[in-house]
Amino acid sequence: MNAPSSLKVLVLASTFPRWQGDKEPPFVYELSRRLVQHPHIANVHVLAPHAQGAALTEEWEGLKITRFRYFFEKWQTLAYAGGILANLKQNRWRYALVPFFMLGEAIALWRLLRRESFDVIHAHWLIPQGLIALLVCKLLPRPVPKILCTSHGGDLFALRGKGLTQLKTYVLKNVSAMTVVSEAMFQEALRLGADAQKMYVIPMGVDVQTQFIPNATCTRHADSLLFVGRLVEKKGIHYLLQAMPTVLARYPHVQLRIIGTGTEAKALQDLAQQLQIVPHVQFIGAVENKNLPQLYQSHAIVIFPSIIANDGDREGFGLVLVEALGCECAVIATDLPAMQDILQDQQTALIVPQRDVSALAEALCTLLANPAKARQLGEQGRQFVVARYDWQIIAQRYGQLLVEMG
């Protein structure tokens, strides 16, 4: 183990805020900035993709950030705005960017490792970051940094086909240590050949102590429903919209607010028109992360109708579930294995089968008819997540693992 404050960590990620106040998911940033505060970690440096309007190098709260170019600036559209997988689905021409992305990241990583000494590389996602870290380290003289790879779900479940499966297995078998964010992912990684002795289940966290908390001064609107997340296939929003006519037949004043952007936005808006529910559905778009708590606090019921997408993509861990429960919202979610780490039916949420429109509509009507039940679910849900998923707990677990590796 290194002496106090001597460990140097290099973080690789393809999702990271492009600028202050960005609406991209912040979980890699939130973990990384907390690792900077660890007593045995000297510095943390993040390498992430560049995007139009973003700085190439900067420093936030002691966190060094380098962004690598991989194409002409205005055409760097592979990462962000829904994620790499969703962006590839939306526009097949973006597959042409993949080799440029991987080469750009590999060159940037090689340069950083030649210029600076790091003890551990923390690569988020098996492919491309985990794979690139392994390949670049093979080109460097020994000793090279140890590699911790964290899989978040889509990279483990959705990348199918013989070649991609072999690449996933290669990463799983060759990194120094591996973390996944749910028990369901742990079992899938074992199936692909991962070594259980170097595998850990450590999810991402949420600030449920100061940010995602109940607010007694904020009025919850009992007839307002909320969805928060990327507008992509695996989120199952089509089924939520299809459930709305049944709900509206019994509760005609209900309003559904959908927060987020993504490749399915236009299709979802068209579906709302076809179902003739446009007056009852608001597509808000993306909001800054600092404004999310107030949205949760003003809604009694939050819905997560996630599914296993046609290409196998699915949730690795429901981080927005933890945010909602932290704010004491009543949650309705589907029965995906990854949700089972967080949710207990009738205790912390109502759980329905995925793709089951009737069951989803019935669960919504149940909570709309019984506000006391909704409050009870929210209160019990908050107690559960505060004890397990606060960033203070999660960052300590990751920090301890990194220090042990270094």
Q: Which residues pair with 120 in a beta bridge?
A: 9, 146
Crossing angle of helices 357-369/371-386, nearest 10°? 100
* Predicted local confidence at residue 357, as pLDDT: 98
Report yes or no: 335 and 184 within 8 Å, Cβ to Cβ: no
What is the C-alpha to C-alpha distance for residues 99 and 297, in angstroms, rounded to an integer? 43
* Predicted local confidence at residue 291, as pLDDT: 94
pLDDT of residue 3 exceeding 70, the answer is no
List the CATH code of the domain at 221-386: 3.40.50.2000
* Predicted local confidence at residue 214, as pLDDT: 95
What is the C-alpha to C-alpha distance for residues 150 and 183, in angstroms, rounded to an integer? 13
Report yes or no: 123 and 103 within 8 Å, Cβ to Cβ: no
Identity of the amino acid at 152: H
pLDDT of residue 1 exceeding 80, the answer is no
What is the C-alpha to C-alpha distance for residues 196 and 189, in angstroms, rounded to an integer? 9
Start-end of H helices in 289-388: 292-297, 319-326, 357-369, 371-386
What is the C-alpha to C-alpha distance for residues 209 and 387, in angstroms, rounded to an integer? 11
pLDDT of residue 154 exceeding 90, the answer is no
Q: Would you tell me how many other CB atoms lie within 10 Å of the CB of residue 186?
A: 20
Mean pLDDT across the stretch 180-188?
93
> For residue range 288-336, what is the model confidence (pLDDT) as tens digits?
999 999 999 999 999 999 999 988 888 888 899 999 999 999 999 999 9
Closest CA to 318 of 230, 191, 378, 187: 230
Report yes or no: 32 and 70 within 8 Å, Cβ to Cβ: no
To the nearest whole percent, how much of the chain has pLDDT over 90?
84
What does DSSP say about strands 350-352 and 330-334: parallel, antiparallel, or unpaired? parallel
> For residue range 34-50, what is the model confidence (pLDDT) as tens digits?
999 999 999 999 999 99
7-205+390-405 belongs to which CATH class? alpha beta
Mean pLDDT across the stretch 163-176?
96
What is the C-alpha to C-alpha distance for residues 392 and 207, in angstroms, rounded to an integer? 8
Identity of the amino acid at 321: L
Identity of the amino acid at 40: H
- Tokens in use for 226? 């909320």
Q: Where in the chain is the domain with CATH 3.40.50.2000?
A: 7-205+390-405, 221-386
Report yes or no: 16 and 68 within 8 Å, Cβ to Cβ: no
- Tokens in use for 281? 């559905």
- Overall size of the chain counted in residues: 406
Which own/partner contact pairs does 164-172 have at CB distance under 8 Å and 24+ positions apart? 164/127, 165/192, 167/126, 167/127, 167/131, 168/126, 168/127, 168/192, 169/193, 170/131, 170/134, 171/126, 171/127, 171/130, 171/131, 171/134, 172/126
Mean pLDDT across the stretch 169-191?
96
What is the C-alpha to C-alpha distance for residues 333 and 355, in angstroms, rounded to an integer? 11
